[in-house]
Chains A and B, each alone.
Chain A
Amino acid sequence: MAAMTSHPATLFSISTGSPEPIYRQLIDQLRRLIAAGQLAPGDVLPSVRDVAQTLALNPMTVSKSYNMLETEGLLQRSRGIGMLVASHRGRARPAGERERLLRPTLARAAQEARQLELDPAAALALFKKILEEDL
């Protein structure tokens, strides 16, 4: 088994004075780092305490980001090691739960579709097209 890669807290950088809350900035950075492959499945994230100390942040802010990404299945908690990048993106959570995560976004889209008086078939066709564009 390959040795685990651990990342230092300097992985993150945040900016104050932004309309975007700091916990969101941390989440977005992690998503990007994982998407770009700079963080690989099984990599160990710096501890909440390390990040809080290095970036001078309230530890609750850091744990909020980690917990939200764990709920999403992007991170995985491992006893005695800490937070890891999940090995099987998306497969970590059952489909029902992943659908539940998507529901609020779709509910908003549905509301806007009704306000724009788009008929359901047209809205669904558009969504299908967008889904396929990303492949």
Chain B
Amino acid sequence: MNASVVNIAAVSKSFGAQPVLDGVDWNIAAGKVVGLLGRNGAGKSTLLECTLGLREVDAGGVTLFGDPVARLSDATRARIGYVPQKPELFEWLTPIQLLAYFQAQYPRWNAAKVDGLLTRWGFSGNMRRKPVGIMSVGEKQRLSIIRALAHDPDLLILDEPVASLDPAGRRDFLRELIDDVIERDTTVIFSTHILSDLERVALDVAFLKDGKIALQSPLDELLESARRITGPSAALSALRFADEIRREPGAAGIVSILARPSVTEMAALGAEGSRLQVEALSLEDLFVEVTK
């Protein structure tokens, strides 16, 4: 079960003179649900597109289920589901026609699931005969998700899948994802800025920064271990942590350190007493700190 489903090795990609990915190494084991985090423009979509072979890389390589991504077998291709950031659907087709088109491409197709999702997600009656082109962005996004889940994929790659959905729609989507993970141990890569969704489903998080995976960790362990330590530079300049994420000099000789102190290092901090402020951080605070 621990074979890696996605293997990304030293992948680099530039657009003109602008490097976006700079030697990304990233491994994702079967059954993992990983959240991909990064600032706008950090290259998350580019990384996901390179992972799927939708963009050629300048250097490095990607394998999915052991197949090089440039030469995916039909069988491997059928195991992958993808929700792009912008739904790319044939605008002149109705939902029923669109799904029939995709059904013909896949050996496995869960018609009962598709029908249930269409009904529950607002595609009943006339909606099933409405061309995609005149749907709202949220409706297109829901349809794009149904399409990606329809063939019971073993690997799901979701690029901001719920940006246009309201909170109730997002909750429906999370429940569907959880069902899939429970039933079939699906491997999921999930890029989103809606951190509350990520906290609910992702067991691991990875931060993309400066073209690399800057930090990857089980989310629980990260929340439990990461601390922001603030204090006068006189007290902090001599302190070093084995797992220090960043160190930032602030105004008036105050230094701020983001680190994952060990038990011994924590005790040493405790001994410093009130000179230092030591805080646990939420995922949102961590996002701001790590991607600075």
Which positions in A face B, CB cutoff 8 Å? 16-24, 49, 52-53, 55-61, 64, 108, 111-112, 115-116
Contact = CB atoms under 8 A, between A and B. Distances in A.
User: By DSSP majority rule, is chain A's interface helix, strand, loop, or mixed?
Assistant: helix
B201 interface: yes
Given A52-B178, A58-B178, A58-B200, 17 more contacts: A16-B195, A17-B195, A17-B282, A21-B219, A21-B220, A21-B223, A21-B224, A24-B220, A53-B175, A56-B201, A58-B181, A58-B203, A59-B178, A59-B181, A112-B267, A112-B271, A115-B271
Contacts of A56: 171, 174-175, 178, 200-201
A108 to B, nearest CB: 6
A96 to B, nearest CB: 23
A52 B201 CA distance: 10
19 contacts: A17-B196, A19-B223, A19-B281, A19-B282, A21-B220, A23-B220, A49-B182, A52-B182, A53-B175, A56-B178, A57-B200, A58-B202, A60-B203, A64-B220, A108-B266, A112-B267, A112-B270, A115-B271, A116-B271
A20 B222 CA distance: 10
B263 interface: yes
A49 B183 CA distance: 10
Interface in B157-196: 171, 174-175, 178-179, 181-182, 195-196
Contacts of A52: 178, 182
Given A56-B175, A59-B181, A108 B220 contact: no
